[in-house]
A and B are shown apart, each in its own frame.
Chain A
């Protein structure tokens, strides 16, 4: 391996390939640039003009739009890395980030995989094996089946022992996929069938297991970090209980739910869990907590998480830079005693979807884009004004995070930042839905669990302002149409709406001018 011996006498990569796209690719490029490392982007045919390609120092085409032919094509990614002389590959999240085979292939090609050892990915990737390992390490688990199950009878036996409701989960699942809740005995048979077949079709592995369903569950996770010498620390918790269909929507750190004792205990348990699999790099131990403040391990994500910015905002640590430094063989840049939570941070995931029409994906061209700015605001985006959000990939276009001295200030800033965040065009977003969430009395009180959106949200709740606001919107549309009409060149394209006013072509002269240019 070639390292550059910098003035600081640290070994660091000269060039890194990012095997990802969207906002996380841009995030890794930023970390590289701060470290003086050159970045190599890869892109599919659908992403030639994507933000991460524009931001990177080098960019290599890796295939057609479907991810399995480009972003998930090991040969093409490795070829791109070799062709550009990259010494390491950062997988981001999703795609190859939790794929031990890819991590091994990178090492076999003489490069560094920026992530945990392949063995740790494998141990945590098999949810049933992970449960056994964690039980042995003394990590609290949700009561359930000790191993995988195959038949309905086995499920019945377990269900009788631990009591309904139960969750059926695919052994190879994760990220909210391949799960079924069973509340009534009569639904058990069909749930077993669907989970087994879903597990087989989605993950190529039909094995599944059973866990007791935790009532009023809150999703609380602990960020861990380890270097290759085994030094392991935690960076406290994030609460991600605001979810829809098991997908996180809003995250925050600290959690408004846990006590200082619980925080300390969960941190220690998380470090123990990471050590048990010989972990290195950034990882997340996910827990469910019940109303009685019991907490149970559910899974470990062996990668950087989408919601890492809230941890960065309250700890002041740059997790992505630390990932790169640790992968280069450097020791952890911080000790446990250096770490503290300062203030409060919240993150809203901005998705291209229509919250009024049942959250249907609403990708398309972004014609209007204004990012929020000002005190305590951070935007991680993978798009720009004029960009096309394609339907091939994840509908998340940006993450908006705010920081405040306390939870109230972080929320106030989020409300303000959401109002500054303007996205318009073919695309639609869930920005108004976020505003509904953060203004909800239960959210403000910290009184929520993972069922919050299901229980509370009705699309009618998204109000569109009063008469004056509606009038202003219609007026702006009418003025635009009239200006288009008045531009003789655009006459062909003018909407029929203004033809009734055609005799007034000379009207609204003042409006046709660009007022900002006359100052």
Chain B
């Protein structure tokens, strides 16, 4: 019986279905595509993954709710979502329905809020300007959509990870 995961990566949601065929050998359905994969755990949190003949060397670390995966292509953040719970409580999942939450990357002061609730925004459009490390940083929307919530006001200080804006 295969195991199912739902994961978000770079703002996109992916269905993952994993079936163990033999030692190290997995059959993985990823969205519409199917891969035969050979996985070896080569360090406490390091994996050598062969997809056909292609070799991926991955290091993995838990980072809050996310799992950071470092590869030759760079580091990416994966968020695993419980597939079974999703189907039971579709409204309560953290990344439901393509909602994108803009969070403060670091402690700082909100200099400006560039959008209002109800605004339509484009992907990469600036939403909030936060001053940190003596620099003003424009934080941009991860996706196109409608501004659902604005949680901060100019002048307010924010903690790392604090929710700033929700875009649907």
Q: Which A residues form the contact surface with B (CB < 8 A)? A: 354, 357-363, 367-368, 370, 391, 395, 419-420, 422-426, 428-429, 431-432, 435, 459-460, 462, 464-465, 467-484, 495-501, 504, 507-508, 510-516
Closest A residue, CB atoms, query B105? A360
Closest A residue, CB atoms, query B29? A471
Judged by DSSP, the binding face of A is: helix
A510 to B40, CA, bound (A): 8
Which residues from chain A contact B115 at a C-beta distance below 8 Å? none
Closest A residue, CB atoms, query B55? A472
The 8 A CB mask of B135-161 against A (1 = contact, 0 = none) is: 101111000000000000000000000
- Cβ-neighbour of A357 out of B18, B62, B140 (below 8 A): B140
Which residues from chain A contact B74 at a C-beta distance below 8 Å? 431-432, 435, 462, 464
A-B contact pairs, 12 of them (CB 8 A): A357-B140, A363-B106, A363-B133, A422-B71, A422-B72, A424-B61, A474-B14, A478-B3, A480-B45, A507-B3, A515-B40, A516-B42
Task: Say yes or no: A476 contacts B69, CB within 8 Å.
Answer: yes
Task: Say yes or no: A515 contacts B42, CB within 8 Å.
Answer: yes
Task: Say yes or no: A471 contacts B78, CB within 8 Å.
Answer: no
Task: Say yes or no: A480 contacts B62, CB within 8 Å.
Answer: yes
- Cβ-neighbour of A422 out of B10, B59, B81, B137 (below 8 A): B59
Task: Say yes or no: A471 contacts B16, CB within 8 Å.
Answer: yes
Which residues from chain B contact A484 at a C-beta distance below 8 Å? 62
Which residues from chain B contact A480 at a C-beta distance below 8 Å? 45, 60, 62, 67
Known: A472-B51, A474-B14, A477-B7. A508 touches B20 (CB 8 A): yes
Task: Say yes or no: B41 contacts A424, CB within 8 Å.
Answer: no
Task: Say yes or no: A475 contacts B139, CB within 8 Å.
Answer: no
Which residues from chain B contact A462 at a C-beta distance below 8 Å? 74
Extra inter-chain contacts (10) besides given A357-B139, A473-B71, A480-B62, CB under 8 Å = A462-B74, A473-B56, A474-B9, A475-B30, A477-B69, A478-B7, A478-B18, A481-B5, A496-B85, A507-B3
Known: A420-B72, A424-B69, A510-B24. A468 touches B54 (CB 8 A): yes
Task: Say yes or no: A479 contacts B59, CB within 8 Å.
Answer: no
Shortest Cβ gap from B134 to chain A (Å): 10
Closest A residue, CB atoms, query B88? A500
Within 34-53 of B, Cβ neighbours of A (below 8 Å) are at 35, 37, 39-45, 47, 49, 51-52
Task: Say yes or no: B24 contacts A511, CB within 8 Å.
Answer: yes
Shortest Cβ gap from B144 to chain A (Å): 13
Check B82 for interface membership: any CB of A closer than 8 A.
Answer: yes
A-B contact count (CB 8 A): 210
Task: Say yes or no: B41 contacts A497, CB within 8 Å.
Answer: no
Closest A residue, CB atoms, query B54? A468
Which residues from chain A contact B20 at a C-beta distance below 8 Å? 507-508, 510
Chain B residues bordering chain A, tally (CB within 8 A) = 71
Check B111 for interface membership: any CB of A closer than 8 A.
Answer: no
A467 to B63, CA, bound (A): 23
Task: Say yes or no: A477 contacts B63, CB within 8 Å.
Answer: no
Task: Say yes or no: B49 contacts A477, CB within 8 Å.
Answer: no
A483 to B67, CA, bound (A): 13
Task: Say yes or no: B51 contacts A424, CB within 8 Å.
Answer: no
Closest A residue, CB atoms, query B94? A496
Known: A473-B58, A497-B80. A362 touches B70 (CB 8 A): no
Which residues from chain B contact A426 at a C-beta distance below 8 Å? 63
Which residues from chain A contact B56 at a C-beta distance below 8 Å? 468-469, 472-473
Closest B residue, CB atoms, query A499? B82
Which residues from chain A contact B60 at a C-beta distance below 8 Å? 368, 424, 476-477, 480
- Cβ-neighbour of A471 out of B10, B30, B75 (below 8 A): B30
- Cβ-neighbour of B30 out of A360, A370, A470 (below 8 A): A470
The CB with the most chain B CB atoms within 10 A, among A425, A474, A482, A499, is that of A474
Check B167 for interface membership: any CB of A closer than 8 A.
Answer: no
The 8 A CB mask of B75-104 against A (1 = contact, 0 = none) is: 110101111110000000000000000000
- Cβ-neighbour of B73 out of A465, A471, A496, A510 (below 8 A): A465
Task: Say yes or no: A361 contacts B59, CB within 8 Å.
Answer: no
Which residues from chain B contact A425 at a C-beta distance below 8 Å? 61, 63, 68
Which residues from chain B contact A358 at a C-beta distance below 8 Å? 126, 137-140
Task: Say yes or no: A360 contacts B85, CB within 8 Å.
Answer: no
Which residues from chain A contact B70 at a C-beta distance below 8 Å? 368, 370, 422-424
- Cβ-neighbour of A391 out of B23, B31, B132 (below 8 A): B132
A507 to B22, CA, bound (A): 11
Which residues from chain B contact A471 at a C-beta distance below 8 Å? 14, 16, 28, 30, 33, 35, 37, 51
A361 to B131, CA, bound (A): 10
A395 to B14, CA, bound (A): 33
Shortest Cβ gap from A64 to chain B (Å): 17
Task: Say yes or no: B72 contacts A361, CB within 8 Å.
Answer: no
